C-alpha cells in the first residue's frame, strides 16, 4: 500500500517501511552532489545574487570548468538559477539565483548552522569509529 509520510512516498511491507523513488528524491540527488550547494551558497552571499562563470569558478575552490558547466546547466534546468546572455564581443554570460534558488537561502543557512553546531560531535564520532576500526 503506497502512503505519503511527511512528503516521503513509501509503502508498508511485511519486512518494514520502504521508501519509493519520487520527485523529491530526484531533487535530493541534485542537492547532494559535490558542487550544487557550493554554487548556490556562493550566489546567495554575493551582492545581487549574480556572478559570471569565471567568478563562480574562482569562488568554488576545486571545481573544474566541465563540472561547473554541468552544475549550472542542471541548476538552470531545475529553475534555481537564471542564465543571462549578453550578445557583446566577447559574449558575456551571468548566472543569478532565480526565485526558487532564493527560496533555498534560508534552508541552506539553517543546514550550514546545523553542520556548524554539530561538527565537533561529528568529528568526535568519526575519531571514535576510526579508533574502533583500527583495533578490529
The per-residue pLDDT for range 67-105, each reduced to its tens digit, is: 999 999 999 999 999 999 999 998 899 999 999 999 999
The per-residue pLDDT for range 121-134, each reduced to its tens digit, is: 999 999 999 999 88
Residue 5 pLDDT class (50, 70, 90 cuts): low
| Averaged pLDDT for residues 58-71 | 97
Q: Higher pLDDT residue, 59 or 21?
A: 59
Question: Cβ of 72: how many Cβ atoms within 10 Å?
Answer: 20
Pick from 65, 91, 104, 131: nearest CA to 73: 65
| Averaged pLDDT for residues 23-43 | 86
pTM score = 0.80
Residue 28 pLDDT class (50, 70, 90 cuts): confident
Position 23 scores a pLDDT of: 67
CA angle 54, 55, 57 (to 5 degrees): 60
Name the grid cell of 51: 556572478
Provide, rounded to the nearest whole percent, the portion of the chain with pLDDT above 70: 92
Amino acid at each position: 500500500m503506497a502512503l505519503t509520510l511527511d512528503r516521503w512516498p513509501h509503502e508498508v511491507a511485511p519486512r518494514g517501511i520502504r521508501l519509493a523513488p519520487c520527485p523529491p528524491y530526484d531533487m535530493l540527488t541534485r542537492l547532494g552532489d559535490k558542487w550544487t550547494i557550493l554554487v548556490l551558497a556562493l550566489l546567495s552571499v554575493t551582492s545581487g545574487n549574480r556572478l559570471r562563470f569565471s567568478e563562480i569558478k574562482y569562488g568554488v575552490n576545486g571545481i573544474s570548468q566541465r563540472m561547473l558547466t554541468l552544475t549550472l546547466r542542471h541548476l538552470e534546468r531545475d529553475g534555481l538559477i537564471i542564465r543571462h546572455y549578453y550578445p557583446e564581443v566577447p559574449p558575456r554570460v551571468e548566472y543569478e539565483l532565480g526565485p526558487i534558488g532564493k527560496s533555498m537561502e534560508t534552508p541552506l543557512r539553517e543546514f550550514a548552522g546545523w553542520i556548524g553546531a554539530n561538527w565537533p560531535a561529528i568529528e568526535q564520532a568519526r575519531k571514535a569509529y576510526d579508533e574502533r576500526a583500527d583495533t578490529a
